[in-house]
Amino acid sequence: MVITTGRAALALYAVKPDAATAKAIKKANDNSPDCIAINGEGKEIRIEFELLASHFRAHQHDPHGCDLIVCWHNDWAECPVPVLSLRNVVVERAPWAVRDLMDSGIHEGQWTLFEFIEHASSQYGRHDAVELAYRLIEVVKLYPGVFRAEMGTGDKIPTLGVCLLRGGTRRVYTLQAGGKLYVDFTRIKAGTVRSELRNRLAILNPHVMTKSWPVFPISTSGDREVLIESLKWLGHTLLRSSI
């Protein structure tokens, strides 16, 4: 399991609400606030679930309509609403689980995944990069013999790379914390696979057919979905082939 959304944070919290803030979840909602819980005094509290605390601001929620933000990682020091970071709770009670939830299978370089998250969300304000990073990692885990996730070695901007273990060499997808994603088509050996991947990504960048290392937008959910589906297709294709 990888914590990738506010709903995933809700699922983790629902298993065992933190004793300091809630005894039980009374009701889950489809709109804000995400749920109503009962605290230790028997009073109702309004809770919003986010992947990162700063997503509360990005989603333009009303601080006056929320008593507590429950998130995986608190990246908003000046948040006007009390914040419970589930990562901190897990680190305290079961530190081994953090490695399983977040870093399993990721080869670290100059940066760690947490540093990537902090730079993307706090320094660059690119919550879309954080979401895409988690989703790329999920796809990598679906194809362990095809892909490997690794953190970048550059000293300026944290990056997360998806490397080929078969059908090519080294990094094929590179995501920067600043919100840029590059695909290096030269790393893919098979010309037919390379051409089809270009075709699948042409909707995001019309220059994909002429550049060896084009950059792709990630700002909309549609952009990110195309990128994720292209990586899934590549993994499935390489897994089935004898390349």
Q: Is 78 within the bounds of a domain? A: yes
On whether both 109 and 215 belong to a single domain, the answer is yes
Look up residue 193 and give its two tokens: 């696979």
Among 45, 79, 98, which residue terminates a domain?
98
On whether both 90 and 148 belong to a single domain, the answer is no
Among 79, 98, 117, which residue terminates a domain?
98
On whether both 161 and 68 belong to a single domain, the answer is no
What is the extent of the structural domain holding 126? Answer: 105-240
Mean pLDDT, contiguous 10-residue spans, the chain (243 residues): 46 48 67 81 86 85 91 84 79 52 63 81 81 88 90 86 81 93 89 90 81 86 93 92 64
Tally of domains in the chain:
2
On whether both 167 and 198 belong to a single domain, the answer is yes
On whether both 17 and 48 belong to a single domain, the answer is yes
Q: What is the pLDDT of residue 196?
A: 93
Q: Is 1 within the bounds of a domain? A: no
Q: What is the pLDDT of residue 4?
A: 44
Whole-structure pTM value:
0.63
On whether both 121 and 72 belong to a single domain, the answer is no
On whether both 13 and 64 belong to a single domain, the answer is yes
Q: Is 39 within the bounds of a domain? A: yes
